[in-house]
């Protein structure tokens, strides 16, 4: 063996005890964060109040404003600094309850269907819409049929989420284009309305709402989601009678934009106060449930990051900033405004973490980051594994922190188990009673642990 190789091996052995010591210290720090939230965490009681006392928080609503004031007050008890960042947001209202049915004839009665208006849709007005139904599986199939088949009819987008996908968010991404883009695509061919199969994996009686996106070159036509069970029933009815007519009536409308706020709180860094580690979720929710999983859980878990630091008496080296974004569900105005103000103020972020996949048990983190940062996180895996954090392989960050991509910083998404998320997503079932306290606390601990490790090892 050459002398140079012997020297390098000896040098490696000399460094090994220091590396092991650093790993042990990281594991101790992670355990400390989890222990604090599992013993003394406030996430669950915060979420109880937010969901059961304030309730659904659609952007522009009075309850969204109430949630802003509540969050500001709670954060003032634990943070060094709290402020409200003005954001102009859309104000869409659902109006009175929707109605829909397959029209009967002389021999058959009307068959009621469970529907809800899609977020941002125009309403039908009194009298509703009645027309024949054309079923398609995709926007491509719609285009192939053409205007001569579509004009004057209701288009029914009926492509299910792919149940074979092990990660349910992949199934969602594979189906959601028909909800977001389907109404304008159908309108270009002369459709008078759109029905979209709900974004759910199970056979359910309740519909899932969610945003559509009207394109400026297409008429605005009313669009609804139908429950998965009734989507199957409608599809079967069309096989038996392709000339059947469908009726639906909605009363939603888009009002004038209103001013709302992102809620921002900080613990100032003791060594690098100008450098920011962001943890956040979105404070708004859809109006059907109370937004417990989407995204009350992410908000209180982010708030708990600061509380854990306070509870342990730890002063972060870098500034830890919690941001509760407004208007993720139907516009993303909070995330866009935050990034705009960060750029104007020449703020220096070193990482951003978002929790917006529900309050379930930890599985890992998604990352849009350099390979160097990924390798660093992989080095922390032994400290994180005992808490279920084992998967760091997927790309992704979060919708609200997405506009920060221009700063070329790591964008990270907290990734809990996803199997039950789309049982509740955007439905009346997304309520506080579906939350496990322990799983919620473990998620808060996951967020705090990663913030702590980034704070200790920024480079």
What residues are annotated to the active site? 328
The answer to whether 102 touches 113, Cβ cutoff 8 Å, is yes
336: exposed, middle or buried (Cβ count in 10 Å: 0-12, 13-18, 19+): middle
Kindly state the tokens that stand for 325. 């974004």
Using alpha carbons, select from 252, 268, 216, 19 the residue that is nearest to residue 125.
252
DSSP 206: S
Using alpha carbons, select from 320, 297, 325, 312 the residue that is nearest to residue 435.
297
| Dihedral, CA of residue 248, residue 149, residue 198 and residue 224, to nearest 10 | -30
> 115 — alpha (psi -120 to 50), left (phi > 0) or beta?
beta
Kindly state the tokens that stand for 264. 């921002």
Kindly state the tokens that stand for 20. 């092991």
User: Hey, is 438 helix, strand or coil?
Assistant: helix
For helices 297-312 and 3-40, angle between their N-to-C axes, nearest 10 degrees:
110
DSSP 239: H
CA angle 209, 102, 236 (to 5 degrees): 85
User: 291 CB contacts (<8 Å, ≥6 apart)?
Assistant: 50, 51, 56, 57, 284, 285, 430
223: exposed, middle or buried (Cβ count in 10 Å: 0-12, 13-18, 19+): buried
């Amino acid at each position: 063996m050459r002398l140079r190789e012997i020297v390098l091996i000896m040098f490696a052995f000399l460094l090994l005890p220091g590396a092991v010591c650093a790993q042990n210290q990281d594991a101790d720090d992670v355990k400390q964060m989890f222990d604090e939230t599992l013993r003394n965490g406030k996430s669950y009681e915060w979420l109880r109040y937010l969901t059961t006392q304030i309730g659904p928080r659609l952007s522009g609503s009075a309850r969204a404003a109430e949630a802003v004031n509540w969050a500001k007050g709670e954060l003032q008890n634990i943070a060094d600094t709290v402020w409200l960042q003005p954001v102009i947001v859309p104000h869409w209202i659902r109006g009175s309850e929707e109605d829909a049915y397959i029209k009967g004839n002389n021999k058959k009665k009307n068959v009621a269907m469970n529907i809800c208006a899609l977020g941002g849709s125009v309403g039908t007005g009194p009298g509703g819409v009645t027309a024949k139904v054309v079923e398609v599986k995709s926007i491509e199939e719609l285009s192939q049929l053409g205007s001569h088949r579509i004009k004057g009819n209701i288009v029914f987008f009926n492509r299910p989420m792919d149940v074979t996908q092990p990660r349910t968010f992949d199934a969602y991404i594979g189906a959601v284009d028909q909800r977001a883009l389907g109404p304008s695509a159908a309108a270009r061919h002369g459709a008078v309305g759109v029905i979209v199969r709900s974004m759910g994996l199970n056979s359910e009686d309740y519909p899932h709402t969610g945003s559509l996106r009207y394109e400026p070159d297409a008429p605005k036509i009313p669009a609804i989601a139908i429950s998965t069970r009734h989507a199957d029933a409608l599809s079967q009815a069309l096989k038996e009678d392709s000339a059947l007519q469908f009726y639906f009536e909605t009363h939603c409308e888009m009002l004038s934009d209103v001013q709302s706020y992102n809620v921002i709180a900080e613990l100032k860094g003791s060594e690098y106060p100008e450098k920011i580690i962001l943890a956040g979720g979105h404070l708004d929710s859809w109006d059907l449930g109370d937004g417990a999983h989407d995204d009350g859980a992410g908000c209180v878990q982010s708030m708990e990051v600061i509380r854990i630091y306070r509870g342990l008496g730890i002063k972060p080296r870098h500034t830890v900033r919690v941001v509760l974004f407004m208007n993720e569900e139907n516009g993303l105005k909070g995330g866009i405004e935050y990034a705009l103000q960060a750029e104007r103020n020449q703020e220096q972020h070193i990482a951003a973490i978002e929790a917006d996949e529900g309050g379930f048990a930890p599985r890992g983190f998604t990352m849009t980051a350099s390979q160097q940062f990924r390798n660093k996180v992989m080095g922390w895996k032994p400290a994180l594994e005992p808490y279920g954090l084992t998967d760091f392989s997927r790309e992704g960050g979060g919708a609200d922190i997405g506009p920060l991509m221009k700063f070329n910083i790591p964008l990270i998404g907290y990734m809990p188990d996803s199997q039950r998320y789309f049982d509740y997503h955007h439905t009346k079932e997304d309520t506080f009673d579906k939350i496990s306290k322990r799983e919620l606390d473990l998620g808060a601990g996951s967020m705090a642990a990663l913030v702590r490790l980034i704070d200790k090892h920024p480079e």
